[in-house]
Chain A
Amino acid sequence: MDLNEFIANFADQFEDTDSSEITAATEFKNLDEWSSLIALSVIAMVDEEYDVTLKGDDIRGSVTVMDLYNIVKSRS
């Protein structure tokens, strides 16, 4: 599983946020555009691209994009 590809897939869920703003260290909940609706898009993307089920607690417990990547990687 490729980190850069995951970051790109993650960034694709945002409309108004420039993808250059999003890195592995980005604390995604601090992004202006972050919302519970974007969270659903991220869950759907992870399900589709990695066949992994992210739960609400996984999102709530993650701070950075890297945290999410590690969860997905550990289950894929």
Chain B
Amino acid sequence: MAFLETKHVAIRGMSACVPKHTEKNIESYQKWGDYTKVRHLIGIDQRHVFNDGRCTSDLFYSAAEKLIEGLGWEKDEIDAIVCVTQTPDFIQPPVACILQNRLGLKEDCFAADIPHGCSGWVYGLSILCSLMQNGTMRKGLLFSGDTASKVASPEDKTTLPLFGDAGTCTALEYTDEEAPIKFALCTDGSGSDKIVIRDGGYRHPFSEHTLDMVDYGEGVARNNNHIFMDGMSVFSFAISKAPKQIKDLMEKYAISQEEIDYFVLHQANLFMDEKIRKKMKLSRDKVLYCIEEFGNTSSGSIPLTLVSRAKEDLENKHLKLIGSGFGVGLSWATAYFETDHIVCPDVIEI
């Protein structure tokens, strides 16, 4: 297990932005039949999705502007930004470079993308905290999120009802206080074909056949620019690996369940998350959900869940939290972190 403990970097704020437009699953699913049973399992009523040309960086930009304003930070104080996304505006350049300019940040600023999915917020946090913990970079922004709805085939009943769009911003600051954040980070690349968009990279470049729709039967048709997900394998991966990793992290750092205010799981689907919760014997009130309102928003889901479901606690209390993400890669990552009266604007809709 790859454990990591960073110090002297504190979370000062968290914001989330989603498209105003929503799609109701009861309507989107109509062409495949009755949604009731599916709803019972996946737990998603609606998803916020862009129905125009806007992109991940538009979500990040709005999330950042609101958060920087709330924090009262000067933009030229920001020394580093990291963008976690698998749906960048372009294959090149990095989203982080686009945002550095659009936000009006100084040139003297670290900016890099991390192309991770569901485990991405935790991975991004581990990287930005590691960068900042010796104090040469004092303020940083971690962005995470995807326009995940854009990768799902409209003719695939196994992915269309799942994915929503969201972009989030987490503000970090160097502090003389200890402020430990504890991580466990894992990878199983043998499952790299379990969640995949086949074409458009350089292994299978975009070609004249990329957009050919193939009917796989049972309500599944997609092209090679759409996401393929082996739902059964991903499910068995998540329910076996995620609880074990959370448990290992808590054992390694002697963290008890009782001291944790909230466990925030990647909002994959309700059945999977509930299975993980029950396996860990966590009470329902300790595990936050926002999946019914936003769907699976990839690396945006952990901060989106906190902002949308625990805003008052984040603003008014000192919280001890565990966040755990698992998915594409296959990759899974868990973090123990604390927040203390942080800035947390309402979820922004654009």
In the complex the two chains form, is B233's CB within 8 Å of A56's CB?
Answer: yes
Q: A47-B240, A53-B236 are in contact. Are A36 and B231 (CB under 8 A)?
A: yes
In the bound assembly, the distance between CA atoms of A64 and B272 in angstroms comes to 25
In the complex the two chains form, is A37's CB within 8 Å of B232's CB?
Answer: no
Nearest-CB distance from A12 to chain B (Å)? 15
**Chain A residue at smallest Cβ distance from B157:** A36
Q: A36-B158, A37-B37, A37-B38 are in contact. Are A44 and B239 (CB under 8 A)?
A: yes
* Interface band, chain B: 10 to 19
Q: A37-B37, A37-B41, A40-B41 are in contact. Are A53 and B240 (CB under 8 A)?
A: yes
In the bound assembly, the distance between CA atoms of A60 and B271 in angstroms comes to 21
In the complex the two chains form, is A54's CB within 8 Å of B236's CB?
Answer: yes
Q: A36-B158, A53-B240, A56-B230 are in contact. Are A43 and B37 (CB under 8 A)?
A: no
In the bound assembly, the distance between CA atoms of A42 and B240 in angstroms comes to 14
Nearest-CB distance from B350 to chain A (Å)? 34
Number of A-B contacts (CB under 8 A): 43
**Chain B residue at smallest Cβ distance from A36:** B231
Nearest-CB distance from A54 to chain B (Å)? 6
* Residue B341 is within 8 A (CB to CB) of chain A in the complex: no
**Chain A residue at smallest Cβ distance from B272:** A40
In the complex the two chains form, is B235's CB within 8 Å of A40's CB?
Answer: yes
Q: Kindly list chain A residues whose C-beta atoms are within 8 Å of the C-beta of B38.
A: 37
Kindly identify, within residues 27 to 80 of chain B, every residue whose CB is under 8 Å from any CB belonging to chain A: 37-38, 41
In the bound assembly, the distance between CA atoms of A55 and B239 in angstroms comes to 11
Provide the A32-49 mask, 1 if CB < 8 A to any CB of B, else 0. 000011011001100110
* Residue B7 is within 8 A (CB to CB) of chain A in the complex: no
* Residue B275 is within 8 A (CB to CB) of chain A in the complex: yes
In the complex the two chains form, is B236's CB within 8 Å of A47's CB?
Answer: yes
In the bound assembly, the distance between CA atoms of A59 and B235 in angstroms comes to 13
In the complex the two chains form, is A40's CB within 8 Å of B231's CB?
Answer: yes
In the complex the two chains form, is A43's CB within 8 Å of B41's CB?
Answer: no
Nearest-CB distance from B280 to chain A (Å)? 13
**Chain B residue at smallest Cβ distance from A37:** B41
Nearest-CB distance from A60 to chain B (Å)? 8
In the bound assembly, the distance between CA atoms of A34 and B251 in angstroms comes to 40
5 examples of A-B residue contacts, CB within 8 angstroms: A36-B232, A37-B37, A43-B235, A53-B236, A56-B232
In the complex the two chains form, is B239's CB within 8 Å of A47's CB?
Answer: yes
In the bound assembly, the distance between CA atoms of A48 and B232 in angstroms comes to 16
In the complex the two chains form, is B232's CB within 8 Å of A40's CB?
Answer: yes
Nearest-CB distance from B188 to chain A (Å)? 12
**Chain A residue at smallest Cβ distance from B40:** A37
**Chain A residue at smallest Cβ distance from B234:** A56
Most interface-central of B41, B232, B240 (chain A CB within 10 A): B232
* Residue A57 is within 8 A (CB to CB) of chain B in the complex: yes
Provide the B233-248 mask, 1 if CB < 8 A to any CB of A, else 0. 1011001100000000
Cross-interface CB contact of B233 among A44, A47, A48, A57, cutoff 8 Å: A57
- List 15 additional A-B contacts (Cβ < 8 Å) besides A40-B41, A43-B232: A36-B218, A36-B232, A37-B38, A40-B232, A40-B271, A43-B236, A44-B239, A44-B271, A44-B275, A47-B239, A47-B240, A55-B236, A56-B194, A56-B232, A57-B233
In the bound assembly, the distance between CA atoms of A37 and B272 in angstroms comes to 11
